[in-house]
Structure 1
Amino acid sequence: MRRFNLSIMDGYILREFIIPFIFCVAMFSCVGVAIATISDLSHRIIESNLSLIAAFQVFILKFPEYIGYALPFSVLLTSLLTYSRLSKDSELIALQSSGISVYRLMAPTIAVSLIITLVTFAFNELIIPPSNYQATSILAGDSRVINKYTVQQDIFYPQYEEVITPEGEVKRELKSLFYAQEFDGREMQNITVIETDNHQLEKITVSETGNWNNNDDKWDFSNGVIYDIKMNLSQISSNFFQNKKIPLPKTPLDLASKSRSPYEMNIRESLEYIEILEQVGNQKSILMYRVRTAQKISFPFTCVIFAMIGSSIGAKFNQNNKGTSFGLTVLIVFGYYLMSFFIGSLGLIDVLSPTMAAWLPNFICFGVGVYLLVKS
C-alpha cells in the first residue's frame, strides 16, 4: 500500500499556516476571556465577596469556551494572512505558472481546516460543557458539589395521560401535578401532589420531604398527609404518615437534577433533557434546547467555511497588511454572528425548524465561499 506523502508545496503552505494559527488561537482566547470574564469577576469580588481563589478558578475554567470560539476565527484570519502574503510576494503566480490550479493551492488549508473542525467538535463536546458547569457551580457558591447537582426551586411536573372520549377521539388530560418548593441536590422539600381520576379531583398528598428510591422505583415521602377526596368534595378523609412509598414518575427528579444551560451540556445530555421536557410539555424550552443542540453540531463546520472564504479573499488580496486582514476577519465574523443570531431567532419562535435555523447560516456562507473560490 502506497504511503501518502506531503508535497514540498503542501509542507510549505502548512508551515506558513500553522504557526500563525496557534498564535491567533492564543490571542483570540485571551482577548475573549479578558473582555467577557475579568470585569464580571471583579464585580463579584467586590460586591459578592467572591474569593480570589474561586475567581481564579472561574477564570481558568472559562478559557476552554473561548478557545472553542477562537478556533474558527483563527482559521479565517490565518488563511487570510497566509494567502495574502503568498499573493503579495507573487508566489501564487509562480505556482500557477507551473500549472498548479488555485484549487490545488488551497487544498492544504482546506484539509487542515477539516482536522480543526474535528478538534472543535471534540472540544465543544468533551471539555467546554463540564468546564462551564464547574464555573457556574463555583459562582453559585456550590464549590463542594461541583458538576453533580443544581439547586432548584419551584419544580413543577404535570403528568398527562391519553383518554378516549365517548366520540372516539383521543384526548390528553392531566393525571397528576407534582410540585416541590425546593430541591437541595439530595431531596425534594415541601411537596404537594394532586391526582385526578375521571375528570375529578381524587387525592392530594402533602409531604415535608421526598427522596427517590431506586430499588423500588417509588418516592419515599416523609412527615406528610394524604387527603382522599370523593363525591365532588363531599367526603374528605385524611391519613397522616411518617414514611410512605408513593408510586409517581421519577421525572421531577430528572427535571431538577439535570437542569442546566445548554452551553453546560454536551449533545447526549441535551437530547436526554429534551426527552424530559417533552414529558413536561414545555414547548418553549424544548424548542430552545433543540435549536441550541443543532447549533452545537453545525458550529464546528464554520472552520472549513472560513478557510474557503479566507483563502479566496487572501489570494486576491495582494497586500500583506495584518491590520486590514484583522479588520476583514472581524467584519466577516460579525456578519456571520449577526446572520446566525437572526436566523436562530426564527428557529426559537418556530418559524424555521431547529435544524434549518442552525445550518442555514452555514449553507449561506458556504455558498459565498464557493463563489469566492471560483472567482479567485
Structure 2
Amino acid sequence: MERTTSKSLSPLPIFGPTISVMDRYIITELIGPFIFGVGLFSSIGVTVGAMFELVRKVTESGLPISIAIQVFLLKMPEFIALALPMAMILATLMVYSEMSSNSEIVALRSCGVSVSRIIIPAVIVSLMATGLTFALNEVIVPNANYQSSLILEKTLEQDNPPFKEENIFYPEFGKVRRPDGSRDDTLTRLFYAEKFDGKYMKGITILDRSKYGVEQIVSSESATWNPTKNIWDLFNGTIYLVSSDGSYRNIVKFDHQQLKLSRAPLDLAGKKRTYTQMNIAQSYEYLELMRLSGNYRKVVKTQVRIQQKLALPFVCLVMGLVGASLGVRPHRNSNRGTSFGISVIIIFTYYLLSFMTGAMGQKEVLTPFLAGWLPNFIGLGVALLLLGKASR
C-alpha cells in the first residue's frame, strides 16, 4: 500500500500532467463495478419495462417471437441510458468505501492528498458517463424507440399508414378583443377532418371564432395545403355566418376557397413521436408546433420535458460525486451489499424527487428550468456538504 501511495503523486506523461498513478488506479477500480452496475440495472429495467409487456403480446396478441426479440433489442439502449447514473453511484460508493475500509484513504491523506483530490478520478469517470448518456439519448435512444413502435404497429395493426388516417382535430387558441377593449384568451378556431389520405383532408369542418360576436362555420368536401402560398385550398364547400344569437346571417357556397390557417393540422396528421422518441432538437420543433396551436398545457409540458432531457446526462456527475463523498468517509469494513442498498435508496429518492418536480413544473408551481434541474442542484448540494464533512 505504501508503494502505491508514494507513486500516486507522480504524474503519468501518457495521460497528461494531471493524471497520476493514483488516478489511474482508482479509475481502473471504478470500471469493473461500473460495467457491472450498467448490466445489472439495465437488465432489471428492460425486464420490468419491456419484457413482461412483450411476453404478454406474444401470448395474447400473437406477436412473433422473432419480432419480440427485435423490439426487445431496440428497447435496450433506453434502459442502458437510464442505468448509467445508477451504475455511477454504485461504482463510486463500492470503490471508495472499500478504499476507506482498507485504510487507503487514510494513507493518501497522510501523504498530503486532499479528499477533493482523491475524488477527481470519480469526476473523470462521471463526466465520461455523462457524455455517453447524452450521446445515447440524442442519437440512439429516440430512433430505437421509434423503430420499435413502428415494428409493433406494423405487426399488430396491418396496413397502418405513416400518418393519422381519421379524426384530425386542431384547436387554435388566441386573444379575442371584446367591445370594451379587453382581450380574452379563448378558442379562436377549431379544425376537424374526418379522413386524411396523405395529401387531401376529407370532410372538413372549421369553426372560426376569431372575431367577437361573429362565428363562421366552414364546411368543405376536401382541403389540401398549398406550400407555395402557405395557405389552405378548400374545395366544394359552404361558409355559414352565424350571429351571436345563433341565427344564420349568410350562407355562401364555393367551389374553391383559400383560407389563411396554420399548417399545424397537416403536421398533427403526420405520425408524431412521443417524448421518449424525440431528441432535443425534435422536442424544440414539437414545442413550436404546440405554440402555433395555442395548446398552452402541451407547451408547458414540452418545456419541462426538454429541461429534463438536458439535465438527465448530468445525473451521472451528481451520482458520482454523491457516491464518492459517501465512500471516502471512515469505514471499519466494506460490504458490497450495503453499498448496493444505499445506492438503490439514493436512486429511488432522486427519481421520486425528479417525478415530483416534473409534476410541479407542469402545474407551473416551478419554472420548466427548475423542474428539470432542481433534483441535480439538490444532489450537487448534498454531495458538496458530504465532501466538506469528509474533508474535516
Normalised to the residue count of structure 1, the TM-score between the two structures is: 0.88
Aligned match for 1:314, one of 320, 327, 339: 327
Q: CA-to-partner distance for each residue in 1:240-280, whole Å, 9 max, x for gaps?
A: x4x76654321111233263321111112212212221222
Within-5 A mapping of 1:183-262: 183=196, 187-195=200-208, 199-207=213-221, 209-221=222-234, 224-229=236-241, 232-239=247-254, 241=255, 246-257=259-270, 259-262=272-275
Normalised to the residue count of structure 2, the TM-score between the two structures is: 0.84
**Alpha-carbon spacing, 1:203–1:150, altered in 2? closer, same or farther (3 Å):** closer
Within-5 A mapping of 1:308-347: 308-316=321-329, 317-347=331-361
Following TM superposition, the consecutive aligned residue runs of length 4 or more in structure 1 with deviations greater than 6 angstroms are 142-145
**Alpha-carbon spacing, 1:34–1:186, altered in 2? closer, same or farther (3 Å):** farther
Q: How far does residue 176 in structure 1 lie from its aligned partner after superposition?
A: 3.6
Give 3-state SS (helix, strand or coil) of 1:211's partner.
Answer: strand
2:227 is aligned with what amino acid? Answer: N
Aligned: 1:21 with 2:29:
no
1:225 is aligned with what amino acid? Answer: G
Aligned: 1:353 with 2:342:
no
Separation in structure 1 between the aligned mates of residue 327 and residue 216 of structure 2, nearest angstrom: 72
User: In the alignment, which residue of structure 1 is the partner of 2:63?
Assistant: 50
Within-5 A mapping of 1:52-91: 52-91=65-104
Separation in structure 1 between the aligned mates of residue 42 and residue 229 of structure 2, nearest angstrom: 49
Unaligned runs of 5+ residues in structure 2 are 1-12
User: In the alignment, which residue of structure 1 is the partner of 2:132?
Assistant: 119
Give 3-state SS (helix, strand or coil) of 1:72's partner.
Answer: helix
Q: CA-to-partner distance for each residue in 1:293-349, whole Å, 9 max, x for gaps?
A: 111111211111111111122222443322111111111101111122222221122
User: In the alignment, which residue of structure 1 is the partner of 2:10?
Assistant: none
2:205/2:217 contact within 8 Å kept: no
2:123 is aligned with what amino acid? Answer: I
User: In the alignment, which residue of structure 2 is the partner of 1:362?
Assistant: 376
2:127/2:317 contact within 8 Å kept: yes
Q: CA-to-partner distance for each residue in 1:195-223, whole Å, 9 max, x for gaps?
A: 4556323451222x44333234333556x
State how many pairs are aligned.
Answer: 370
Q: How far does residue 6 in structure 1 lie from its aligned partner after superposition?
A: 1.9
Give 3-state SS (helix, strand or coil) of 1:236's partner.
Answer: strand
1:349 is aligned with what amino acid? Answer: K
Aligned: 1:374 with 2:383:
no
Give 3-state SS (helix, strand or coil) of 1:178's partner.
Answer: strand
**Alpha-carbon spacing, 1:100–1:200, altered in 2? closer, same or farther (3 Å):** same
Separation in structure 2 between the aligned mates of residue 174 and residue 24 of structure 1, nearest angstrom: 51
Aligned match for 2:276, one of 241, 260, 263: 263
2:34/2:91 contact within 8 Å kept: yes
Identical positions, percent: 39
2:171/2:293 contact within 8 Å kept: yes
Q: CA RMSD of the aligned region, Å? A: 2.9
